[in-house]
Structure 1
Amino acid sequence: MPKNPPRLRLSRRVPVSPGGSLLAGLGLSATRPGGDWSYAAGTGLRRALHELTASGAPAGIGIAVAQPPGGHPVGDDVPWSPYDRPGTGQWSDAYLTAVNDRLGPSSSPADFCRKAQLVNYEQARAAFEAWRAGRPLGGETLPLWVAHPGAHRRDHGLAAGGAHYGARKGAEPLHVQAAATDGWQVLAANGTAAAVHRATVTARLHDLGGRPIGAPVSRQLDLAPHGTADAFAVPFDRSLPATHLLRLRLTDGAGRVLSANDYLRCRTPTDMRSLNGLPSVPLSLRTRPAGPLAVTATVRNTGTSPAAMVRLALAAAPAADRVRPAVADDNCFWLLPGESRQVTVSWAAGGDEPAARPALVAEAYNALRVREA
């Protein structure tokens, strides 16, 4: 283990709306008195520290190769690296408590990582969305600790997880977002040098059965280069279910989707445990080549309930438990019953990887893993 582990301290606490993004209002700073960044061998599950508050828990796909035989419970008796542990010590129990409060205690490392991916996605997205809205923590810049992408948004096997894709979503060039702290005000952001004319922002509400709530709301607007524009508010009033889905879409004048962003809105943190009651749904996965080191996949929810946090990854053939590093152009998203999404996944050639193309796998918070057909 490192001789000089980092000393973490809470710089300040900012109230977070119960229906808002997880951990987004909590600032974290770190100092290290010197020494090399290193891990001791055999430390079990590893998570790289993520900017601000959350950590890059191991991606659930491939977790079997990240733990010793028999697995580990989630708690103080797990031999986590000092930079990784979610229990006590320099991390305190804030992170583990945040996961437990919202999604319930975990029964295994795999269960914890499944839940942590959702936490990490939401807090990373919230950090970048706050910056884009002009309300970052601490001023005009977004402070990040250990800013190298491999240090905080991938697990020890370099698999990209919820934090990576949450940050990617919040920082996409054209983006639509909502802020719980502003009464669920919806805005569109243009991070490009070109103006976007006649763009349309649309908001829809769905219950956890996938059924629509009320009528959609939309507004057409123009986006200046490197600018933002307010669209409308989607209040979370008492007539709405305690837990439901807010779906935002930004489309151009021809109806093409420029940004898709979904929020699980909860009246209290514990209301998020409703996700644990979602029926298990089947996913289908089909692929076609998109180049020598890429595939385009179509993943579909063939069930009758929403699929939460659908995630695609590459499994090194022939075993589906080992994951190869890869990047998807979209990941960690919701699919309503019958809905599908097309995703391109690419990877780098590995020196010691098998010559055969790795297999693509998909899973969701409430869907078992499936391999490409």
Structure 2
Amino acid sequence: MKFPSVYLLLLLIISAPVAHAQRLYDLDKAWKARRASEVQEDGIALSRATGGLTGWIPARVPGTVLTTLLENGLVPDPFYGMNNERIPDIYKTGNAHYTYWFVNDFNYPALAGGDQAWLHLRGVNYRCDVFLNGEKLNARPHNGMFLRQVYNITKALRPGGANRLAVIVHPADVAGNPNGGQGGDGTIAKNVAHQYVAGWDWIQPVRDRNTGIWDKVWIEQTKSVNLKNPHVVTHVPGKRFPGEKQEPARINVSAELENPTAAKVTGKLTYTLEGQTVSQTVTVGPKQTVTVTLPVLTVSNPKLWWPNGYGAQHLYTSSLQFTEPGKGVSDEEKITVGVREVRTAWNAHTRSREVSVNGQKIFIKGGNWIISDAMLRFSDARYDAEIRFHRDMNLNLIRVWGGALIERPEFFAACDRYGLLVMQDFWMSGDCNGRWVDPMKAEDQWTRRNYPDDHNLFIASAEDQIKMVRNHPSLAMWCGGNEITPPADILSALRDDLLPRLDGTRWFAEYSNTDSMSYNSIGGNGDGPYGIQNIRTFWEDRTFPFNSEVGSVGVGDAVSLERFLPEVNRVAPDEPNRRIDSVWQYHKYIGYDSSVYRYGKPKDMADFANKAQLVNYDQYRALMEGFSAHMWDWYTGTIIWKTQNPWTALRGQMYDYYLDPNACLYGLRKGSEPLHVMCNPVTGMVMVANNTFVPYNDLMLVVKAYDVAGKERLLTQVFVTVEPTDAKKYLSVKGYLNQPGQPKDVFLSLQLLDVKKNVVSENLYWLPDAKGSYPGLNQLAAAPLKTTVKRVGPGQVAVTLKNPAGGAVAFFNRVSLVDLNTKKRLLPVFYTDNYVSVVPGEERTVVLEYTPGDVPVAVTVSGWNVKEQVVAVD
């Protein structure tokens, strides 16, 4: 999988400061693994030995047992076809089948006198013991998926020589029965771990429940004192505007200092940002850890961090150092800081939570996030690509769903860069944790209500994970759980102790659809629906005022489907007769009902998938338009369920598992534009939504219609003024369209032009007949679209689509970058737009970015009435 070099370089630049002046040593290579039942030695003997790993297999760390087995060809790809059924499930095999030893042999440089070495394991699932060079590091077994481990290994380490680290990893105590329920039989929630691995309505069970060393492992080297868990809080009082000279901001900084030595240590803790410093002299007693709070640092005219669409995402690189007299820096932490302040308030008119950043209210356009990869194969580059897709959809918030995990710092770093606010759930779900009566569950609601079994472990894990991610400017809200509060003692610990003490700056929602976020006055669960809706409903039917979950379909095109559907299963769903292929069902296909058939009966899978893209685009454009049309009146925001899939599912995704976008992404991008012209399909009312802080004066609103032959008809044009953060009605075109004696219009075109006649927003709707079908599209003549391609920079290509005057509209054109030789799409590629339509006499330019490689590339363009074109890129 290739990623644009500019983004890899950015990742390297951003991650480089974390290297603590080259005092971090990653242990991400040369791991080996073997099933524990096949290993005769205990941990002490195993870690003391050198060599002797015959029969062991290369292991992926970070990773899981299943990823290691997959990479060694010992199990089939569970994301393809029905392969997951060929992999033994832990519920049937027992835990011993997936209990594994992981061993790493490494050389470590010599330590200077007085230096300390610390082993970090950022995530092990679920229970483990850790051995180094014949010594057991943990006094008792480590438990819990969400609890970092840090061991002082100074005495156990062999500096300047060979070392062996051995970790035995046991699965979660309760694997849960994957019986088809949400979270299987629910008992997976007895553990302090993720719940989706027992299966959900969007994924099949993960067979090893993601047992393994699933997150990063490294050694940190310090001098006498270890500086850890820094906390940086920025205060931005008042109401601010991007780009203006700013009043001062205040920064509060604290950190923990740990002294593992037998002597007290006196030194200075110093925080530096943009050349400004604050410091304090500290004495740390032997074997003591203290928390130190520094004096307030005031930043004059700060460069502020804003959410996507509202301003720039400026990030400062700051540092914390603890120095000892005569010894220099004992330890240093580099911290990326976004100066911003997030607040929430109750909007009494909408009866929902309203979010503001730097004193400006933000209309929330969000997406629900599950996890980057169901088998925990995380990477900085994949995080960057996925969050960039969310930025490109013009979203400004991601909610991290409670059935998964507290997302990794690399995820938050990407959200920091791209301006995505984050609402982070803790590890609860209404399905597993007892909100509803459920015959699929093994235990009753009263019992499930007290999951997990170890509340103290949950609380300790929450404390640790809060400390891990709290410095990120993108983190905006905490949430107790998905559709349910945690048990009373855990809820009290989060709300009344941990979050006030460890954070104190972010709003805490007790659960995702709590009335304090969005008052439920219409019944139901307070979120949804989750499938195809009539376009009219998005505009005219009032729903929850800050919907935490509402969504629709998401099937990819034929190229996407062929990546994981065996050839025999590449058949179009027969919706009218409810005949759906078994592999489609296994991959959680959600029905399109009659919506695809309104474009004509699909001839085959490819035809079905192409027509589904029209539905995808229309659904998500209308969803966000409907919410935006009523912002601050009915709604303060909405969060789509969901924007991505961590495996090859057939529902709720803007791009597939392989990072190939479908039309959902571009329909949502269109409907979520910061400045967006749109038309209510029920009333014909043309509106403009302005999700910026900038007013627009003297914009020309131009409304045209096009018939099947491409003939243009000007309906009206008028100068308009658009206020900031507002949605306003301007005129209705219902009376203009399709009057008796006029030709049948197929398209409605809306444009906003500035005083220089530049297009600042445009929107093209295809119009249904009285029955809701689209026969006009099937009468379109072939459009003589001309495609030109120009390389505009390394990894950047401009594709210009020109439609000569006198013909039909060139409708719904997909632009792709492919390998010139194989014609396979390159992934990921980022397009400024896609599924574009070009009216006669006009042209559109799409700019794409990709990672240049050794293969020659070409651009393909194909549309509803445009034959596929292949144009080589020089």
Q: TM-score interval w.r.t. the shorter chain?
A: 0.7 to 0.9
Q: CA deviation at 1:112?
A: 0.8
Residue 141 of structure 1 corresponds to 637
Residue 329 of structure 1 corresponds to 832
- The 2-side partners of 1:126 and 1:159 are apart by 22
Flag the 1:21–1:105 CA change in 2: closer, same or farther, 3 A: farther
Name the SS of the counterpart of 1:143 in structure 2.
Answer: strand
- The 1-side partners of 2:763 and 2:645 are apart by 22
Flag the 1:62–1:195 CA change in 2: closer, same or farther, 3 A: same
> What letter corresponds to residue 724 of structure 2 in structure 1?
P
Selected match of 2:755 from 249, 253, 258: 253
The answer to whether 1:73 aligns with 2:576 is no
> What letter corresponds to residue 223 of structure 1 in structure 2?
V
Residue 711 of structure 2 corresponds to 211
Residue 108 of structure 1 corresponds to 604
Residue 58 of structure 1 corresponds to 556
Residue 280 of structure 1 corresponds to 782
Q: Which moved more, 1:311-320 or 1:71-80?
A: 71-80
> What letter corresponds to residue 106 of structure 1 in structure 2?
P
Q: CA deviation at 1:51?
A: 5.6
The answer to whether 1:296 aligns with 2:795 is no
- The 2-side partners of 1:72 and 1:306 are apart by 31
1:281 touches 1:305 (CA, 8 Å); kept in 2?
yes
For 1:34-62, what per-residue CA distance to the aligned partner results, in whole angstroms no more than 9, with x for missing partners? xxxxxxxxxxxxxxxx961222x223456
**% identical equivalent positions:** 23
TM-score of the two chains, using structure 2 as the length reference: 0.35
- The 1-side partners of 2:869 and 2:669 are apart by 24
Give runs of aligned pairs for residues 141-180 of structure 1, distance below 5 A: 141-148=637-644, 152-180=653-681
2:569 touches 2:581 (CA, 8 Å); kept in 1?
no
Q: Which moved more, 1:327-336 or 1:197-206?
A: 327-336
- The 1-side partners of 2:768 and 2:633 are apart by 23
Flag the 1:14–1:66 CA change in 2: closer, same or farther, 3 A: closer
Residue 369 of structure 1 corresponds to 868
Q: Which moved more, 1:105-114 or 1:329-338?
A: 329-338
Residue 97 of structure 1 corresponds to 594
- The 2-side partners of 1:327 and 1:120 are apart by 19
Q: CA deviation at 1:246?
A: 0.5
Higher relative CO (Cα under 8 Å, sequence separation at least 6) belongs to 1
The answer to whether 1:220 aligns with 2:754 is no
For 1:293-313, what per-residue CA distance to the aligned partner results, in whole angstroms no more than 9, with x for missing partners? 211111123582222111211
Q: CA deviation at 1:28?
A: 12
- The 2-side partners of 1:295 and 1:13 are apart by 37
> What letter corresponds to residue 203 of structure 1 in structure 2?
V
Q: CA deviation at 1:66?
A: 5.0
1:206 touches 1:245 (CA, 8 Å); kept in 2?
yes
- The 2-side partners of 1:333 and 1:22 are apart by 25
Q: CA deviation at 1:80?
A: 1.7
Residue 229 of structure 1 corresponds to 728
Flag the 1:281–1:248 CA change in 2: closer, same or farther, 3 A: same
Name the SS of the counterpart of 2:760 in structure 1.
Answer: strand
Q: CA deviation at 1:154?
A: 0.7
For 1:311-350, what per-residue CA distance to the aligned partner results, in whole angstroms no more than 9, with x for missing partners? 2111133222434322221222222234321111123x38
- The 2-side partners of 1:272 and 1:25 are apart by 22
> What letter corresponds to residue 165 of structure 1 in structure 2?
Y
> What letter corresponds to residue 775 of structure 2 in structure 1?
R
- The 1-side partners of 2:845 and 2:582 are apart by 38
Flag the 1:319–1:51 CA change in 2: closer, same or farther, 3 A: farther
Q: Which moved more, 1:125-134 or 1:58-67?
A: 58-67
TM-score of the two chains, using structure 1 as the length reference: 0.78
Flag the 1:138–1:117 CA change in 2: closer, same or farther, 3 A: farther
The answer to whether 1:122 aligns with 2:618 is yes
Flag the 1:322–1:254 CA change in 2: closer, same or farther, 3 A: closer
2:529 touches 2:550 (CA, 8 Å); kept in 1?
no
1:177 touches 1:248 (CA, 8 Å); kept in 2?
yes
- The 1-side partners of 2:654 and 2:530 are apart by 23
Q: CA deviation at 1:231?
A: 2.1
- The 2-side partners of 1:249 and 1:277 are apart by 25
The answer to whether 1:339 aligns with 2:842 is yes
Q: Give unpaired runs (5+ residues) of structure 2.
A: 1-83, 85-196, 203-430, 432-524, 574-579, 647-651
Of structures 1 and 2, the larger Rg is shown by 2
- The 2-side partners of 1:22 and 1:290 are apart by 43
Q: Which moved more, 1:155-164 or 1:66-75?
A: 66-75
Flag the 1:338–1:221 CA change in 2: closer, same or farther, 3 A: closer
- The 1-side partners of 2:738 and 2:785 are apart by 33
- The 1-side partners of 2:775 and 2:643 are apart by 32
* Two-structure CA RMSD over aligned residues (Å): 3.5
